[in-house]
Chains A and B, each alone.
Chain A
């Protein structure tokens, strides 16, 4: 598989009057064509900012790309002009955002909003665009597409609006689709339908997808590769089964362990990660998770661990950690038997 996207040493800061927020710190990874990458992280992990900064969608200033390259099909996106980015977004890279309420313009019909990128990027005529709009609405599972195309956003339910957003996202057959918390604002039953739709679309049109979320469950069912981010860094990444079944980062392990699962009869307390999310205005030193990590060594506080291949795991499974989680867990296990 040839790489579609190569991110190298991406570092993004936000400079405000009182402080500098180190949002993304030295993030590097490659994404193969046809792959679905699930990026998991909590607020301040840099998961959204790093994706938005790749295509010039963060406000600059206060945002600033300090370092790095983002090669998309061999072209460095960070070196493109506003004009070139404008042509690229929506055409080669499609987006789906969290809130389908605010992402659609309330005074334009759905047809106008889907047709806009078609006419701008693909140069379709009005009648061609109209035909394509109806096809797209059918593709994303909106019944009675002919009639619905002429309606306004308020006539659609939340789930239907998100389907429209997906239709806009894939309208120009983008090579890459970036979804940022695209199902977070939706009810679980609607989320299930949307995830079903995305899986289905991938089969039909084979788009490469970056799916950004905080929900481990969503990633488990959707992604080929998982990338766990914390404090603006990649803590761990790898094939979804390897990361979920054999996590090597204490953060991934803690997150998975803290989620309630099944009936847990008789269990009174959940496993909890201590402490609070990191202060992103601090100069990043060492492993960002170290202050909350029970396995942290002295080195974790001093030196930033590089993202390297995890020992004895499948290819592509990488972790940034100075400690050996398997060893630590074995020690823990042994101690609990004493």
Chain B
């Protein structure tokens, strides 16, 4: 742990990403204790109030302005981060675990297992993702859990395809043959030899996927299939505020910046983690 932080201090980009991610996570966890107005309480007298920095700590202040129903945008962003981060992170992890495992299995066993899995991937890629999401939500009904499942469902195949390709190349490497030669079991080969060597590409895909999933969440919310109102989610805030962009720019801008910063910080942290887990780069640091 000590070496983790001392390594982190050496990388400006990594540290920036780490600090930002920590701030977002802490804000999400501690939201009720930050003294923010309720994210769902509307104040029709203060509809579309612009951001104001005077009297910042007075109870009625709206530092980032209010939306079309007079709800405090800062509060909605902070509470929205709870939903968005839980949904996006769960979907990334779920899709990642399933995708990496299936990718390893397909690449390791090849033959019929591989062909079946890859045909499923092809078929799913041929369907528009949005259509698939609509079908699933329509069938299961909108809820946070179902939203996570839908988003993971659109995500696993990206891992599976790339990891399978990596494993196909890795399994010809001599250290895998060497593992067979000592009589190592299938699980040992997959988990001890293949998995650590595909973590780097998996991490890269995961950082890209997180960004995509936050935006997809926004799209689903826009169609009314995501987080149900009045609960705030960044995607929903974006889609709802879109119509007011010419009159009240702050309604879409701040959630947009929140998404941007999250994606950026996760990418920076992801890049750094990738290097951190590479033993080749670790010693030179």
Which residue in chain A gives the minimum CB-CB distance to B285? Answer: A18
Chain A neighbourhood of B285, CB < 8 A: 18
Chain B neighbourhood of A18, CB < 8 A: 284-285
Q: Does A330 contact B (CB under 8 A)?
A: no
Q: Does A188 contact B (CB under 8 A)?
A: no
Q: Does A285 contact B (CB under 8 A)?
A: no
Q: Does A107 contact B (CB under 8 A)?
A: no
Contact with B along A1-39 (1 / 0, CB 8 A): 000000000000000011100000000000000000000
Interface size class on chain B is under 10
- Mark out the residues of chain B between 243 and 285 whose CB falls within 8 Å of any chain A CB in the assembled complex: 284-285
Interface size class on chain A is under 10
Chain B neighbourhood of A19, CB < 8 A: 284
Chain A neighbourhood of B284, CB < 8 A: 17-19
Min CB distance B243 to A, Å, is 49
Which residue in chain B gives the minimum CB-CB distance to A18? Answer: B284
Which residue in chain A gives the minimum CB-CB distance to B281? Answer: A18
Which residue in chain B gives the minimum CB-CB distance to A281? Answer: B284
Min CB distance B12 to A, Å, is 14
Per the bound structure, the CA–CA distance linking A18 and B284 in Å amounts to: 6
Per the bound structure, the CA–CA distance linking A17 and B285 in Å amounts to: 10
Which residue in chain B gives the minimum CB-CB distance to A17? Answer: B284
Contact with B along A99-112 (1 / 0, CB 8 A): 00000000000000
Chain B neighbourhood of A17, CB < 8 A: 284
Which residue in chain A gives the minimum CB-CB distance to B284? Answer: A18
Min CB distance B100 to A, Å, is 29
Min CB distance A196 to B, Å, is 35
Per the bound structure, the CA–CA distance linking A35 and B251 in Å amounts to: 79
Per the bound structure, the CA–CA distance linking A17 and B275 in Å amounts to: 14
Per the bound structure, the CA–CA distance linking A306 and B285 in Å amounts to: 36
Per the bound structure, the CA–CA distance linking A18 and B285 in Å amounts to: 7
Per the bound structure, the CA–CA distance linking A17 and B11 in Å amounts to: 13
Which residue in chain B gives the minimum CB-CB distance to A16? Answer: B284
Per the bound structure, the CA–CA distance linking A17 and B284 in Å amounts to: 9
Per the bound structure, the CA–CA distance linking A298 and B171 in Å amounts to: 50
Per the bound structure, the CA–CA distance linking A17 and B283 in Å amounts to: 13
Min CB distance A20 to B, Å, is 12
Min CB distance A49 to B, Å, is 21
Min CB distance A72 to B, Å, is 37
Per the bound structure, the CA–CA distance linking A33 and B167 in Å amounts to: 53
Contact with B along A227-259 (1 / 0, CB 8 A): 000000000000000000000000000000000
Per the bound structure, the CA–CA distance linking A319 and B285 in Å amounts to: 39
- Mark out the residues of chain A between 104 and 150 whose CB falls within 8 Å of any chain B CB in the assembled complex: none
Min CB distance A140 to B, Å, is 35
Per the bound structure, the CA–CA distance linking A218 and B285 in Å amounts to: 42
Per CB-CB distance, the 4 closest pairs between chain A and chain B, nearest first, are: A18-B284, A19-B284, A17-B284, A18-B285
List 4 A-B residue pairs with CB atoms under 8 Å apart, sorted by A's residue number: A17-B284, A18-B284, A18-B285, A19-B284
